[in-house]
Structure 1
Amino acid sequence: MSYCQSMVERLNTVIVKRPKEAFINQDYLSKEWEKFNFIKEPNFTEAENEYNEFITILRKHVEHIEFLPASEITGLDSLYAHDPVKFTGKGAIILKSGKTLRQPEADVYKKLLQEKNIPIIGELTGSAVADGGDIVWLDDRTLAVGRGYRTNDEAIRKIKEMTKEMVDEFIVVPLPHDQGEAECLHLMSLISLVDTNLAVVYSRLMPVFFRQLLIKRGIRLIEVPEKEYHRLGCNVLALAPRVCVMVSGNPSTKQKLKDAGATVYEYKGHDISYLGTGGPTCLTCPVIRNSGG
């Protein structure tokens, strides 16, 4: 079986975590939201309603959805199932988050993958830290990794070594300081591929060399305006080539996607996404994507 080495092929199998397992209840949210640097306290009922809307969209397009269990060792951020692992064609790499509070999530993931007999090809240990949101497959032989506060040089060295037989081009993308060390800025904050030759981007924070590289590779760039960037307009999940889902309230980006021939689904993501802040790519960990669209 071949696992995910693409961001855009038809999504077949995905791992997610529901609010009832991550947020637990309103009392738990009240105690924890500031510690995890949420914008404000989410409403638990609203979060469940929003998530049900999101999962309904996924179920129409994704054959297999695996749910992470509740765990006493993980916190609110575990809702964002993308970050603790990254899949390659041969299996999963267990990561070690650059946010210390999130590091226990890897243990829960490892147990789930072992239970499902999903191969693990490597694991970050020691001083190496990386989040899945910093690791982007530009195509099935090109891997881009963001170097920022969540992913360090030692992790990049180890990931490059782990993927050397699967990757022809390994690109390190320096990330800006932007809003500082406490805020979450991933490479996937700046780019979402929605087809092999189409990407939603926020160019203002993107290194010039990387933007030029994307254009040289024939990738058309859909530019997200600043206001919509802060509303997660740049965070778009491809369910299949040019079939995607995004947080509602980003009309300019949505229209540009539609003008490019994309089918766009929306969900209200105020409590589960914006307050977090993690959009649909953050909420999902693709395991298998099938080629052929």
Structure 2
Amino acid sequence: MEYTCHSEYHELDLVLINSVANAFVDEQKLKNQWKALNYLSKPDFQKGEAEFNVFEKLLQSKGASILRQPQDAAVSIDAIYTRDAAIVTNFGVVLCRMGKERRIPEPKVQEVVYKKNNVSILGQILAPGTLEGGDVAWLDESTLAVGHSYRTNEDGIKQLKNLLAPFSIKVLVVELPHYKGPSDVFHLMSVFSPVDKDLAVVYSPLLPIHFRKELLKRGMELLEVPEEEFNSMGCNVLAIGPRHCLMVAGNDKTEALLRNVGCEVHTYVGEEISVKGGGGPTCLTRPIRRRL
């Protein structure tokens, strides 16, 4: 069987997640951290566990193998959002350097998991560079879109380009808007979720014009998330296979748009693990390998 790391939509084969038990730990840790980390309100631990159990079963529905991030006292409750700490390539993992200071320990914790499971490391982003996985998405086998945001800076992008230069990978820089400012969790994948080679879910009011035109030039059909479903994670859609989607429940209009173009859609209640922390299914997962 052939695999690739350079895809956001092929069948999910191997993925890293971090359970509520390991990330949130208990009610006391949630109580101590949620305000400082800019959550909308304190997640409920037991409800969060129930939500995550459903989410994990949906991930496995296409036969994906699961790697689990271990509990580590150095990381915050944000460590549930595993995508951000690393970028995967066919040449090895790039360990990020987080733009949110409280999240800086996370890549080291993930590095242990990758080495234990024989996933090679290509390199890492070093200070003063910052780079977060939520700002990075493959457009095709040789093109990587990278959002220049408050979480991902110019130096981090330059380091990533240097790491990928020997492999003829084009890095397409996407200049993201200010939106709510440095304290908000706003990544490229907050407004762009590829679900097939020629299909993506987008929120155009915050999608840079140059990037939107590039997607259309590539022949992508863009499903426009309505304004009322943006804050409820309507634009954060994870493909576990081509047009086989996983999304937060309650975004009925976006779900209907996906179904109308032939997508199979699964939903999970994500009030505690997604909405309150601003991290949908793409954030909750670090896909490592997909089946071609």
Range into which the TM-score falls when normalised by the shorter chain: over 0.9
The answer to whether the 8 Å contact 1:143/1:167 transfers is: no
Give the superposition deviation at 1:101. Answer: 0.4
Question: What is the alpha-carbon distance in structure 1 between the residues aligned to residue 86 and residue 64 of structure 2?
Answer: 20
What are structure 2's unaligned runs of at least 5 residues? none
* Number of the residue aligned with 1:256: 257
- CA offsets, 1:36-73, max 9 Å, x none? 11110011010001001101111111331011011010
* Number of the residue aligned with 1:12: 13
The answer to whether the 8 Å contact 1:232/1:279 transfers is: yes
Question: What is the alpha-carbon distance in structure 2 between the residues aligned to residue 195 and residue 164 of structure 1?
Answer: 26
The answer to whether the 8 Å contact 1:74/1:104 transfers is: yes
* Number of the residue aligned with 1:79: 80
- What is the SS of the residue equivalent to 2:282? helix
* Number of the residue aligned with 2:120: 119
Give the superposition deviation at 1:167. Answer: 4.2
Identity %: 39
Runs of 4+ residues over 4 Å off in structure 1: none
Letter in 1 for 2:262: G
Aligned length, in residue pairs: 291
1:281 aligns with 2:282: yes
- CA offsets, 1:156-200, max 9 Å, x none? 111111112444432100011101110011000010000000000
Question: What is the alpha-carbon distance in structure 1 between the residues aligned to residue 43 and residue 210 of structure 2?
Answer: 38
- CA offsets, 1:7-46, max 9 Å, x none? 0111000000000000001121111111211110011010
- CA offsets, 1:73-117, max 9 Å, x none? 001000000000000011100000100100100110111111111
Counterparts of 1:33-44 in structure 2, within 5 Å, are 33-44=34-45
- TM-score by structure 2 length? 0.98
- CA offsets, 1:106-159, max 9 Å, x none? 110111111111100010112010100001101111111000100000111111
The answer to whether the 8 Å contact 1:3/1:91 transfers is: no
* Number of the residue aligned with 2:248: 247
Question: What is the alpha-carbon distance in structure 1 between the residues aligned to residue 55 and residue 3 of structure 2?
Answer: 26
- TM-score by structure 1 length? 0.97
What are structure 1's unaligned runs of at least 5 residues? none
The answer to whether the 8 Å contact 1:47/1:272 transfers is: yes
* Number of the residue aligned with 1:267: 268
Letter in 2 for 1:23: F
Question: What is the alpha-carbon distance in structure 1 between the residues aligned to residue 14 and residue 203 of structure 2?
Answer: 28
- What is the SS of the residue equivalent to 1:273? helix
- What is the SS of the residue equivalent to 2:200? strand
1:68 aligns with 2:69: yes
- CA offsets, 1:210-247, max 9 Å, x none? 10110010000000011101100000000000001000
